[in-house]
Amino acid sequence: MAVWQSHQAPPHLVTRRSAPAVGHLLNLPNILTLCRLGSIPIFLSFLSKHRYTPALYVFIAAAITDSLDGTVARWFDSRTEIGAFLDPFADKLMLVSAFVVMTIEGDFPGWLLSVVAIRDIVIVFGYLMLSFFTGERIPVRPSYLGKSSTFLQLACVTGALLRMRLAYPAYWYPLLYATVAVTAMSGVHYMYRGLVWLGSREPEMFV
């Protein structure tokens, strides 16, 4: 019993160690990400009511917070595990929600949503499968094609919201086609990177 007690940390030390962790999670980049998550229901509410100008303002504000949280995290070296997960999750939830609602409303063609959704499903499913087979956490680093596809998807949503007030611009369909092409190529590229990563490791199930 005496040996067991000697290995236990005093209660006041346990409290002091756990407190900084909570404060570390509630840093400015993570707060900005949480604000972006909270803006998604507001954005979708405006979309469903066809109030496209307020929806555009909310969408632009969310895009600004997306740029700010990453910049602040790098400047102040305040990156966290939860932030690394929440940031892309918030971005993807905002974009996918916008694409689904705007496709239902007839603002986007169905084939655009299909390519975007299939690409995201394949990436998430592939990530989970690789993690399961190898027993390792795969480092997630966005590629240039991935960043380009995200930018084009943002441009599509912004262009669609602006199009509600303006006539059909000449760039609209070229923008849609470019988004589909780059999104599909980024999905294939991520699959290739996943297979290369898997080939460099022996799956845990065969060890």
Per-residue pLDDT at 164: 64
Dist. CA 24–CA 30, nearest whole Å: 9
CA distances from 166 to 53, 130, 139, 159 (A): 12, 46, 43, 10
Spatial separation of the C-alpha atoms in residues 46 and 23, rounded to whole Å = 34
Per-range mean pLDDT, top range of 86-95, 132-141, 146-155:
146-155
- Confidence check: pLDDT of 180 > 90: yes
Per-residue model confidence as pLDDT tens digits over 58-98: 998 888 887 776 666 566 566 666 666 677 788 888 899 99
Range in 33-37, 75-79, 141-145 the model is least confident about = 75-79
Average pLDDT in the 113-134 region? 86
5: left (phi over 0), alpha (psi -120 to 50) or beta: alpha
Integer Cα distance of 98 and 90 in angstroms: 12
Quick one: tokens of 150?
A: 């995200």
pLDDT, average across residues 186-190: 91
* pLDDT reading at 176 higher than 80: yes
- Here the tokens at position 181 are 């092409």
Instruction: Give the helix, strand, coil percentages of the chain, each rounded to 5.
Output: 80, 0, 20
The residue that leads in pLDDT, 86 or 109, is: 109
